Structure 1
Amino acid sequence: MKKTTLYLTLILVISFTNQIYSQTDFVTGLSSPVGILLDENELYIVENEAGKISKIDITQESPTPVDVVSGLSGPARLAKYGNELYISDFVGDKIYKIDLTESSPSLTTVLSELQGPDGIAIYNNELYFTQVYDGTLSKIDLTSETPTIVEVDNNLTGPKDIFVYENYLYISEYNGDRISRFNLTRTDAVHDNVITNLESCTGIYVKNDNLFITLRNLNKISKANISGTNPVANDFLLNINDGVGIAINNDGTEMYISSYADNKIIKYTDANLGIENNAIQKNISISPNPATSYIYLNNLSSVEPYTLLNLQGQIIQESSLQPNQNLNIEHLNPGLYFLKTNLQTLKFIKK
């Protein structure tokens, strides 16, 4: 009877875990997707090689992309302002806009003769945009009929995506391997570094003080809490091939990622996606405990580095654990051990 109860408990735990975390190929067959923008239930997708913008309805189980506008040279990112969708055309050195209320929107040129425009974002009626080739962040007044480009910062290194969050504009500097930010409330402000040593940082998104970053060449997404000083980026999702753009829904349970090389949109579902790491994982525990062959961490929601130590404090091994991953301990001698993570230190007994 005890064995049956134990088996049923394990099944319930596994089922519950699978409902919280899932990663699927949501849309395939795209043409080198880059930037993505989620507006309510519509996900707008930049298809770079096809030179077009498409969209899907995320409420559908198997959504089919619908073309919104074409005729672009090599589009990169998107920003929405009222009923207008702004598009940076990296190859064409232009920024366009379209009216989303039109059944067949046409491209209207907003700016031309730029130097590789990439990231775009809107703050207080102003459109901010990066130019990769001259390393600048600039802006224009969207309420002006003849907007003039105002240079905000000219000391960036390969600036790509940008994201506005709580009066700060965050910038991914691809060639600088860093995330910097600019205080939008100060006219004399210059950018300061937020996180460094981020190889090939490309797409960025901030949700509830959590900064998500696609590290394109490393095929992963990192996550850092930016509410305090000296934030540290930790691995969040692995095996994201050539990830570029990120979008998260309003309640912070679904993340969408564009995979340029694989021509698809990945959907990652996590009930705790937009909540600060320590709040999510404060109830982490080890099961089974005591254990003979393996252990795993309950309530782990992202990739977590760990150090395994014996009772004398000697390091046995160091690596990382993914959610629902078992850690083999068959090689350990019987005794008390400690599993140290960035979140807390746990103890377990090897039988």
Structure 2
Amino acid sequence: MSKNIKKRSTYFSIIHKMKNTIYILLCFFIKTSLSSQVSTLVSSSFPQSLDFHENELYYVDRFLGSINKVDVSINNPTSINLITGLDYPQSIALNGVYLFYALSDGIYKINVTEELPNPILIVNTSFQVRSLAIRENELYFPDTTNGNISKIDINTNNPSIENIISGLTSPIALEFKGKELYISHNHGTISKIDINSETSNIIDIISGLDSPYGMAITNNYIYIAEFSQSRISKININLNNPTIEVILEYPNVIGPEDLAINRSTLYIAESFGAKISKFDISTLNLLEQTSNKYIQIYPNPTKDFIFVKGLSQIKNFSIYNTIGQKVMSGVISNMEMIETKNLSNGVYFLKLDNETILKFVKNDF
């Protein structure tokens, strides 16, 4: 009896190790596949700051001293110069038809609908403005050297600079999510502040980043451009103790300065890569499986079909391959069969009503 128990224990230990190994290899395979999905949108000598107006991506080319735009909705787009001859522009932010940009001597604005935009000086600054962020009628910007965050009212003629936060360590990039202003710091942290709060309490979100020069927020995630390490990472800001997940790294991205998101695509200003690249972040959802111990797929691995057991009601389903392509969809009820005979051999993910995701393997052998 004791020998049988020992054998059974050894068997389950081996199975557990095999499952862990398969999971690790699967994650590696998926991340490798995801890295291959990075593509070049346009070339640029030194792209640095990004922002969107509908389908048009506006960006700064610091070395050329220009602000440009590109229509991301068309194939093989070309850049259009909006304004040239600027003295090392660094940051931009769009508010309706107005584009605000920072030079060494101040913050300016132009009307992007004009054929020949006329720059208007909004306010003089005595420090380098590395980032701009707009909420309603207020424009926020950091003073990296002195550790301040300031704002101006962009609806006012000759606005005054109002300092709202002091005593920070090298604030470098700003990004809004509702009333919360997220601040990245050059020493590797991201913090946030509720701008409607009277207390101005700074809450640290994450540390351990490397030169987080740019951020972009969508849903519950902050995507971060880590310049010195040439990588893109993300964190879940809904978690109390988020962890850093690297999604792209060198050589798939080189010297990322800023990020922007349009629909499900992440756009990356690669200053050392001399280009703006793009990456479909919807494929990342496949790595975030929501398990459900009551819902199971069998047989798994399979050849011609699978059954889903444990459904309490009819569900919409979609099946994705490991690079995020939807290969099948439909409606299923408990113990109903899904044919898989036309699928190629490999790993797939069954997604039920945007909730539960189950993994299965198609194998004809």
TM-score between both structures, scaled by the size of structure 1: 0.71
Output one character per residue of 1:208-230: Cα deviation in whole Å (capped at 9) or x when no partner: 01110011111101111101212
Counterpart for residue 94 of structure 1: 106
Query: Counterpart in 2 of 1:278?
Result: 288
Aligned to 1:305: none
| Pairing partner for 1:161 from 153, 166, 173 | 173
Q: Which residue identity does 1:102 align to in structure 2?
A: E
TM-fit CA distance, 1:18: 7.2
Structure 1 position 182 matched with structure 2 position 193:
yes
Please state if 1:199 is matched with 2:210: yes
Distance of 1:84 and 1:45 partners within structure 2:
14
> Residue 50 of structure 1 corresponds to which residue in structure 2?
64
1:64 deviates by: 1.0
Residue 50 of structure 1: CA displacement? 1.0
Out of 240-249 and 149-158, give the one that drifted further: 149-158
* Partner residue of 1:82 out of 82, 87, 96: 96
Preserved contact between residue 214 and residue 222 of structure 1 (Cα < 8 Å) = yes
C-alpha deviation, 1:66, in angstroms: 0.5
> Is residue 150 of structure 1 aligned with residue 165 of structure 2?
no
In 2: Cα distance, 1:152 partner to 1:289 partner = 58
Q: Residues 116-165 of structure 1, C-alpha deviation per residue, up to 9 Å, x if partnerless?
A: 11111111211101122212100011222121111011222222221100
TM-score, normalised via structure 2 length: 0.69
Q: What is the match of residue 110 of structure 1?
A: 122
Q: Structure 1 residue 262 and structure 2 residue 273: aligned?
A: yes
1:161 and 1:31 mapped to 2: Cα distance? Answer: 22
- Kept after mapping to 1: 8 A contact 2:147/2:169: yes
Amino acid at match of 2:93: A
- Equivalent-residue separation in structure 1 for 2:189 and 2:77 (angstroms): 35
CA contact under 8 A between 1:177 and 1:201: conserved in structure 2? yes
- The equivalent of 2:333 in structure 1 is none
The question of whether the paired residues in 2 share the 8 Å contact of 1:153 and 1:190 is answered with: no
**CA distance in structure 2 between the partners assigned to 1:227 and 1:148 by the alignment:** 35
AA aligned to 2:194 is N
| CA distance in 2 between partners of 1:191 and 1:72 (Å) | 35
Partner of residue 25, structure 1? 40
**Number of residue-to-residue matches in the alignment:** 279
Q: Distance in 1 between matches of 2:248 and 2:291?
A: 16
Structure 1 residue 272: deviation in Å?
4.1
**Cα distance in 2, alignment partners of residues 19 and 162 from structure 1:** 27
Q: Is the 8 A contact 1:21 1:270 kept in 2?
A: no
Pick closer, same or farther for the CA change 1:219–1:281 going to 2, 3 Å: farther
Q: How does 1:286-305 map to 2 (within 5 A)?
A: 299=322
1:245 has 2:258 as partner: yes
- How far off its partner does 1:49 sit? 0.8
Report runs of 4+ in structure 1 exceeding 4 Å deviation.
Answer: 17-21, 279-283, 298-301
Q: 1:18 to 1:222 in 2, by over 3 A?
A: closer
Does structure 2 conserve the Cα–Cα contact (< 8 Å) formed by 1:153 and 1:191? no
For residues 172-229 of structure 1, the C-alpha deviation after alignment (integer angstroms, 9 at most, x for no partner) is 111x211111111113213221111111111001100111001111110111110121
**SS of the residue 1:117 aligns to:** coil
Distance in 1 (CA, whole Å) between partners of 2:125 and 2:220 is 36
| Structure 2 SS opposite 1:156 | coil
Contact 1:210 1:276 in 2 (8 A): no
Q: Partner of 2:210: helix, strand, or coil?
A: coil
2:288 corresponds to which letter in structure 1? Answer: N
Aligned to 2:308: none
Cα RMSD (Å): 3.5
Say if 2:185 is the partner of 1:173. yes
The 3-state SS of whatever aligns with 2:216 is strand
Instruction: Give the one of 233, 239, 245 matched to 1:228.
Output: 239
Shift of residue 31, structure 1, vs aligned partner: 2.2
- 1:299 to partner: Cα distance: 4.4
**Secondary structure at 1:271 match in 2:** helix
**3-state SS, counterpart of residue 199 of structure 1:** coil
Instruction: Summarize the Cα distance change of 1:280–1:73 in structure 2 as closer, same or farther, 3 Å threshold.
Output: farther
1:67–1:112 CA distance, 2 compared to 1 (3 A): same
1-structure distance, mates of 2:266, 2:177: 17
Per-residue CA deviations over 1:258-280 (Å, capped at 9, x if unaligned) read 1101210111124345x696357
- Show structure 1 runs of 5+ residues with no match: 1-13, 291-297, 302-325, 327-343
Residue in 2 that maps onto 1:126: 138
Rounded to whole Å, the distance in 1 between the matches of 2:290 and 2:119 is 44
Deviations 1:289-348 (A, max 9, x none): 79xxxxxxx7487xxxxxxxxxxxxxxxxxxxxxxxx9xxxxxxxxxxxxxxxxx9x9x9
Q: Is the 8 A contact 1:69 1:105 kept in 2?
A: yes
